[in-house]
Amino acid sequence: SVAAIDTDTVRFTLKSGAAKQAIFRTGELPVLPKHFWESKDFETSSEVTPLLSGPYKIGKVDIGSSITLERVPDFWGKDLNVYQGRFNFDQVRFDFYRDQSIAFEAFKSDEFDIFYDYTAKNWAQGYDFPALNSGKVIKEAIPHSIPSGTQGFFFNTRRDLFSDRRVRLALSHLFDFEWTNAALFHNAYTRNLSYFPNSRYASSGLPSEAELALLEPFKTQLPASVFNKEFGFEQSKGDGNIRKKMRAAMDLLKEAGWKLDGKQLIHTETGKPFEFEFIYRQAGLKRIILPFIKNLERVGIKANPRLVESAQYKARLDNFDFDMMTFVLSQGNAPSYEQRDYYHSDLVDVEGSFNYAGINNPAIDALIAQLLQVTSEREVITIMHALDRVLLNEHYIVPNWHIGVHRVAYWDRFERLPEPLPYKLG
């Protein structure tokens, strides 16, 4: 239950047996002023300027173009230690652009001050302009420790085609990251070898004794590689030649009951061809997906790429109406219930859940249950490492890539801390 005790206090009463992380989750809930919202339709998009309680209030709004925040001079928290040295600008304006390239041209013309670059090609090739060459604009890659999301090509294991782990591993071999990184990304990215890249929760090497204690009860149900092999993929030279990886893929596919019939891969028992649909919603991903699909064709697999508009894409994901798709599951510094949302068997058939891969694994369920009851950070790290190993070795996704820096350009009118902040851009 929730009760307002007085004007400054809200009490949350949790059910007996509630996980400790529930305390943190309740603390994340925004408290909204009843007197302001009770006369307004909260669920309808409108031009109502919300009442805020932070150091800034909303000033001028040009819908679709910009929003200006104005500093509140008598902000209630201005003297608290945690806020010292922050909120130094009287006014902050955010400009919105429909296209990244147009925004970059506006930045080069000094239309705004700071540009966060999301495009590897632009970062590598787009900064030969007078203001940067003269030092008026600074280009900087600022390292950080912000956990990257779980990004990959997701198999829908509810489909018979992808229910076999060996098949999923075979297809993973055929994604040539080294060529993709060199040819398309200017070697800007690092291959994901964890579901929790760029974080202390990423597993590495062989499991520790503490991890083994968590994993041993499920030894007969898990791949041997969880226990005796460091996770990784055979690296190519980046020249497009992946014959060794193709041989490994074909060996796995043969074990799983597939064989080449001419140039087509068919199942030895059913005679059905290996064919599936790969959906995506960002047109720019086509240049990444198509080389992967060409590699699949080299072993007789036909993958049909389909660009789907955003609303339909969400509807198809909500109903698990896909064979393979691309997605990023958000990760943070305090793993908790979201891991259950992503990977627990209870959510395999729940419409709209985030268990897109259709994961139904007793070991994963047990690790998540333990994660929700931990009492120390050391326990969290150990459980997350064990969970990472199981997820990786079951090959529910073809892992993609991440970057551990902020790619930022800014006009030379600011200072920042000499040591970068580990968990945010500052």
Joined tokens for residue 256: 């799983």
Joined tokens for residue 215: 């994993």
Give 109's contacts (C-beta < 8 A, 6+ positions apart): none
Is residue 75 within 8 A of residue 87, CB to CB? The reply is: yes
**What radius of gyration do the chain's Cα atoms show?**
25
Res 426: pLDDT: 61
Comparing CA positions, the residue from 109, 113, 75 lying closest to residue 94 is 113
Strands 190-191, 405-411: pairing is unpaired
Q: Burial of 270 by CB count in 10 Å (0-12 exposed, 13-18 middle, 19+ buried)? A: exposed
CATH 3.40.190.10 residue window(s) in the chain: 32-145+405-411
Q: How far is CA 103 from CA 110, 116, 122, 127, 293, in A?
A: 11, 10, 12, 14, 32
> 56-103 pLDDT, tens per residue?
999 999 988 999 999 999 999 999 999 998 899 999 999 999 888 999
Burial letters 313-327, b for 16+ CB under 10 A, else e: beebbeebebbbbbb
Topology classification of domain 32-145+405-411: D-Maltodextrin-Binding Protein; domain 2 (3.40.190)
**Average pLDDT over every residue of 346-365:** 98
Asked if pLDDT for residue 42 goes beyond 80, the answer is no
Which of helix, strand or coil describes residue 325? Answer: strand
Q: How far is CA 286 from CA 240, 274, 306, in A?
A: 18, 21, 9
CB neighbourhood size of 363 (10 A): 21
Q: What percent of the chain has pLDDT over 90?
A: 80
Residues listed for the chain: 426
Round to whole Å and give the CA distance between 409 and 14: 46
Res 236: pLDDT: 95
Round to whole Å and give the CA distance between 366 and 146: 27
Residue identified by tokens 């969970």 is 387
**Average pLDDT over every residue of 153-163:** 98
Is residue 57 within 8 A of residue 69, CB to CB? The reply is: yes
Q: How confident is the model at residue 196 (pLDDT cuts 50, 70, 90)?
A: very high
CATH 3.10.105.10 residue window(s) in the chain: 150-402
Please tell me which residue, 118 or 17, carries the higher pLDDT value. 118
Round to whole Å and give the CA distance between 420 and 145: 10
Specify the pTM. Answer: 0.86
Q: For the ranges 33-42, 167-176, 187-196, which has the lowest average pLDDT?
A: 33-42
Please tell me which residue, 27 or 390, carries the higher pLDDT value. 390
CA atoms within 13 A on the CB side of 39: 3
Comparing CA positions, the residue from 234, 255, 89 lying closest to residue 167 is 255
**Average pLDDT over every residue of 397-404:** 96
Joined tokens for residue 325: 């798709």
Res 98: pLDDT: 86
**CATH number of the domain at 150-402, out of 3.40.50.1370, 1.10.3080.10, 3.90.580.10, 3.10.105.10?**
3.10.105.10
Is residue 328 within 8 A of residue 159, CB to CB? The reply is: no
Asked if pLDDT for residue 415 goes beyond 90, the answer is no
Q: How confident is the model at residue 128 (pLDDT cuts 50, 70, 90)?
A: very high
> 13-29 pLDDT, tens per residue?
988 877 677 777 788 78
Is residue 171 within 8 A of residue 250, CB to CB? The reply is: no
Res 363: pLDDT: 98
Give 297's contacts (C-beta < 8 A, 6+ positions apart): 303
**Average pLDDT over every residue of 382-401:** 98
